[in-house]
Amino acid sequence: MISPKKTQILPIKTQRLYITEFTESMAESVHLNSLDEDNRRFIPDEAFETVEDARETIITLMSFYGQYDKPLVYPVFLHDGRQIGHVQVFPVEDGWEVGYHIAKLHTGNGYATEAVNAFLPAVMERLRITQINGICHAENIASRAVLEKCGFSLVYEGVGVLHKKEQPICRYEKSLSEKAADGLIHNIDIVHTTQMGEERIKHNLNLQTDDVVSWCKDAVMQADISIRRGKNWYVYRSGVVLTINAHSFTVITAHKLNAKIRAMQESDYICLREFLYQAIYIPDGVEPPTRSIINAPEIFIYIKDFGTQPGDLGVVAEQNGQIVGAAWTRIIPSYGHIDKNTPELAISIFPGFRSYGIGSRLMKKLFEALRKNGYKQTSLSVQKNNPAVRFYQRLGYRMSGERLDHAGHEDYLMIKEL
């Protein structure tokens, strides 16, 4: 988040929820979630009478991602994969306003508060704003409670314009300190550490310098990626991660990146949609495809109903509470299919976490799981010009044949004996 090109706010995973970007395949759940009585009463312009109405809106919202003067709307899921609502921010005359909706079936569980609390710090940092508004109907007690629990202050109660008509409203505001909202780069001069922190950093990294603070500042300025999670920033640079308090800009510690590799749990399945998109090979100079590409049947098959059939095995890499990589197998009639006894493997790592050895560790952990489940070999399909070919060869894969994928690209079919 320290510069626009390195901004990464999604996906956001909380204890119970997962926030990501819309795809067209979510149209039916958006349609159904929008039809409850409270939504019709308090947010009538967000009630979609048909699935097609919802789909058209989703397509429009997807086109706004990456822009900074349009509504930014993101679906909210439970860890079991059910889409229960959305969170959003949108530009208004005097700044930005937050919005949210949780379907009636799922209200009363604190999901809206949990989603807004997780979403706001990230999106406000992305937009470089220090204040955000919240407006709701005066009789919408539940919405008022959410804003108040999320730290908003009531600044006006009376008649005002809401959804293009005058009605009783409550207007709330939430402000961050200017220092906290401006991010690391804007506050690089006040990044510091304590004597204990300096000793910890030098010990953890075997750092041979007397000016630890300058070293940390250089790492911030040259970061591969910086992510705001809760009260801390996590800055990744050349295999090292720095933990920096987001309010005081104190460097708490630094250590070599050592993501935890563990078995994929059912609550992690929701992440597969994002990792499937990240797994798509995009050659240098080629414009990335829209995220809706994963809805193509020949691609979506890699995650559809994952966990329901033999061969569905997976592992994830977790760093500072965030899942940053995943590898999984399926026995499916797809590009790398060999036979009913050979699971096809897919692997995906977020761009900012590549080249740190996470991929090799994920693969080796998954190989162990395959062996324990009695499989003798695994396969995969990879484009010929993808540099990952050499990575797979180092892990023991061999060429078995050549095929064309759905777009006409020449792929290698590769097999590894376990």
The per-residue pLDDT for 3 is 33
Would you state the pLDDT for residue 2? 31
β-strands 251-256, 240-245: how paired? Answer: antiparallel
| Assigned token pair, 187 | 């506050």
pLDDT score for 348: 95
Give me Rg for the CA atoms of the chain: 23
Give the Cα separation of 395 and 119 in Å (integer). Answer: 39
Question: What's the pLDDT at 4?
Answer: 34
Position 28, amino acid: E
Domains 4-176 and 260-417 share a fold: yes
- Taking the C-alpha atoms of residue 362 and residue 319, their distance in angstroms, rounded to an integer, is 13
Given a contact cutoff of 8 angstroms between Cβ atoms, the answer to whether 216 and 254 are in contact is yes
Whole-prediction pTM value? 0.66
In CATH terms, the superfamily for domain 4-176 is Gcn5-related N-acetyltransferase (GNAT) (3.40.630.30)
Residue 249's nearest CA partner among 283, 274, 220, 280 is 220
Closest CA to 74 of 18, 5, 140, 135: 18
**In this predicted model, what pLDDT tens digit does every residue of 299-309 receive, in sequence order?**
999 999 999 99
Q: Cα-Cα-Cα-Cα dihedral of 302, 306, 308, 310, to 10°?
A: 50
Residue 166 pLDDT: 84
For domain 260-417, the question of CATH label 3.40.50.300 is answered with no
Written as tens digits, the pLDDT of the chain (418 aa) is 233 334 455 688 888 999 999 999 999 999 988 877 765 665 666 778 899 999 999 999 998 887 777 899 999 999 988 999 999 998 887 689 999 999 988 999 999 999 999 898 888 877 767 789 999 988 888 899 999 999 888 888 888 888 778 888 999 988 765 444 456 787 888 999 999 999 999 999 999 998 999 999 999 988 887 777 778 888 888 889 999 998 889 999 999 988 999 999 988 888 888 899 889 998 888 888 877 788 889 999 999 999 999 999 999 999 877 888 999 999 999 989 999 999 999 999 988 788 889 999 999 999 999 999 999 999 999 999 999 999 999 999 999 999 888 778 899 999 999 9
Which residue ranges make up each domain of the chain?
A: 4-176, 180-256, 260-417
Two structure tokens written together for 238: 């050349």
